[in-house]
A and B are shown apart, each in its own frame.
Chain A
């Protein structure tokens, strides 16, 4: 189970303020806190800044790299911002993201090749976010095939199943879970992830929904989770489901967490 810390994201108002002000101490503390809580990768996003995105995403990469060796997930819809940030990254990063949309695919694939990055691959195409499980699986296969053909290794591919809020379509959770199960069975060895907290958008007690969903996704075979690592309950639940699904030999991590007092 790989935890990607999602907190350094400009769509969070308090974090956006810190990014906009280039508040190094705040951002670095956020990075370190997430790593301490178990994040194996730190996501960085300055997408809300539009014109300043290139400048601020580059700054974020440098600021976080100063205090931690953990790999970064460079989160941006703009190839220009991705390129600027990748140029200053000091170890292999995950690019967030590519998709089956023609223009997006062709503008991001050169970056993957140049920097030999891993890639989050969104299961959507020029027709938008698929409405069904079947369409998602279809895109997952074709996107994986294209990436492999372009020289990307299977273990560098992180398929994102495109989670939508249950508040607007109450089948959304079921669709995501079924997609994960199918991909796990049909494309062994690929990584699977999603924008987990999208599922609870617009509903009260979001943490509760996100935690339940994370456990369900893990049980279906998701192995990479974008979460708030500072949500102790979430981290404890992921540790538990990891052990429960046979991914924790001799329950080693579980017992280590127990002794560290993190099983809340």
Chain B
């Protein structure tokens, strides 16, 4: 089984969407637990890419193509989660804040939440405060995620957090993105800070079980 997980990781590294799909299908046929496939195959494979990206050995287009390979694997898993009658863990609404166009990291976070069994509502990029507040009202999420990749758009997180909490005091908000820090999260009144997708899922799980 470990060999199969390693093959999935290598296929993601090679950004081979077709192979990832086949390997995930094989793992499912061999009754490998879905959570294991996601965490030790797909997420783990993307993490390797992520590390090489941070050290400038791998570049954005390559991250994108590997993310697509991971998505091909997730596409196999998702219907299984529904079919197995696995109840959704919770609802997660996520978006990149106003004036910010970055979405690669956000999309990876989405995949991790889906793999962890959440229903995810993706508001996209350049999402205004009004649109976030409206989405919270519409979807009644258990957790809300705000992403920002620029120091100049980070400030919009403050406005959005305040507006959501003013209307929905029980709303739980996780913030993340390259310039974001725990200190910033505390300053703006967010409930948690996540340094990456895996941490975000952990924190969301904690919030839900609290």
Contacts and interface: CB of A to CB of B under 8 A. Distances in A.
Contact of B101 (A48, A50, A129, A170): A129
Nearest to A167: B60
A202 interface: yes
B48 to A, nearest CB: 18
A165 B151 CA distance: 19
A170 B61 contact: yes
B80 interface: no
Size class of A's contact patch?
10 to 19
A38 to B, nearest CB: 29
Tell which of B59, B61, B125, B126 has the most Cβ of chain A within 10 Å: B61
Contact of B152 (A47, A165, A170): A47
A63 B101 CA distance: 33
Given A128-B101, A129-B101, A50 B151 contact: yes
B198 to A, nearest CB: 22
B159 to A, nearest CB: 13
Nearest to B64: A168
A167 B99 CA distance: 20
A50 B61 contact: no
B29 to A, nearest CB: 35
Contact of B151 (A48, A168, A170, A202): A48
A170 B56 CA distance: 20
Given A128-B101, A128-B126, A129-B101, A167 B152 contact: no
Nearest to A50: B155
B75 interface: no
B59 A165 contact: no
A168 B61 contact: yes
Nearest to A51: B155
Tell which of B56, B64, B99, B152 has the most Cβ of chain A within 10 Å: B152
Nearest to B53: A202
Given A128-B126, A168-B104, A203 B61 contact: yes
Interface string B40-73: 0000000000000000100111001000000000
A37 to B, nearest CB: 28
Interface of B: 56, 59-61, 64, 99, 101, 104, 125-126, 151-152, 155
Interface in A24-69: 47-48, 50
B59 A202 contact: yes
Interface in A67-118: 77
A204 interface: yes
CB-CB nearest 10 A-B residue pairs: A202-B60, A167-B60, A128-B126, A167-B61, A48-B151, A203-B59, A202-B59, A47-B152, A168-B60, A50-B155
Contacts of B64: 168
A91 B125 CA distance: 39
Given A168-B64, A204-B59, 11 more contacts: A47-B152, A50-B152, A128-B101, A128-B126, A165-B60, A167-B61, A168-B104, A170-B61, A203-B59, A203-B60, A204-B56
Contacts of B152: 47-48, 50, 77
Nearest to B57: A204
B151 A167 contact: no
A76 to B, nearest CB: 10
Contact of A167 (B59, B126, B155): B59
5 contacts: A48-B152, A50-B151, A168-B104, A202-B60, A202-B61
A29 B189 CA distance: 42
A95 B126 CA distance: 24
A77 B155 CA distance: 13
Interface string A152-167: 0000000000000101
Contacts of A129: 101
Nearest to B155: A50
A159 B37 CA distance: 50
A156 B155 CA distance: 32
Contacts of B99: 77
A136 to B, nearest CB: 15
Nearest to B98: A128
